Amino acid sequence: MVGRLAPLMLLGAVCACNAPEQAQPPVSPQVQQKPAAVLSSNQIHERIESCAMRSRERFRDDASHGVADAQGSVVFAQHYNIRLDTCFLLLTASSPENPGGEFGTSPAFVVRKLIDVNENELYGEYLGPPADTSPPGHVPTACEVMSMYCGSGREWEVLVRHFMEG
C-alpha cells in the first residue's frame, strides 16, 4: 500500500513546485497602512481639536510668509483622518482672472497643497486652473498626490478626498 502511495505523493510534490504564485496586490511604497489605532471617543475628540488648533497656527504662519499676494485669496481646510491618525491641512490660494492675457481673459490660477501637519510633510500639490472652470486643453502645471500624477483639478480632488475624509 505504501508502495502505491509513494508515486502519487511524488507526483503531487512535483506538481506543487510548478504552481503559479498567487498575485499579491501592489503596495505603494510611500503609503504604508499602519494598523488603525484604537482610540476612545474622548481621544478622538482631543485629536480633532488639536488638529484644528495646529492647522490654524500653520495657516497663520504660511499666510504671514506671503502664500498669496494682495490680489488673491487664501483659504484652508483641516481634517483629522482617524484611519491614518494624521492631521491634514489643505491650503488653497487662488488668483483672480487676468483680463490682460494674450487671448483676452486668462483663467484664474489655483495653488493647492495637502500637508501632513504632524510631520510637516507635503502629500500633494496642484498648480493650475480651478477644477470647475478648467477650459478644455488647459492642463495643470503640477498635479500630484503621493507620487500619483493627475491631469486635472477634478482628478486632484478625487485623490485628495481619500485623505480629507475618514
66-90 pLDDT tens trace: 554 445 788 889 999 999 999 999 9
Domain annotation covers residue 19: no
Domain annotation covers residue 152: yes
**Per-residue pLDDT, 60:** 85
Backbone angles phi, psi at 105, to 5 degrees: -85, 125
Classified as helix, coil or strand, 14 is helix
Domain annotation covers residue 30: no
Are 93 and 125 in contact, with CB atoms under 8 Å apart?
A: no
Mean pLDDT of 136-151: 87
Domain annotation covers residue 104: yes
The CA-CA-CA angle for residues 59, 89, 114, to 5°, reads 115
For 45, the domain range is 39-164
Domain annotation covers residue 24: no
Q: What percent of the chain has pLDDT over 90?
A: 40
C-alpha cell recorded at residue 27: 503596495
Question: Residue 110: beta bridge partners?
Answer: 94, 128
Q: How many domains does the chain have?
A: 1
pTM for the full model? Answer: 0.67
- pLDDT value at 32 more than 70: no
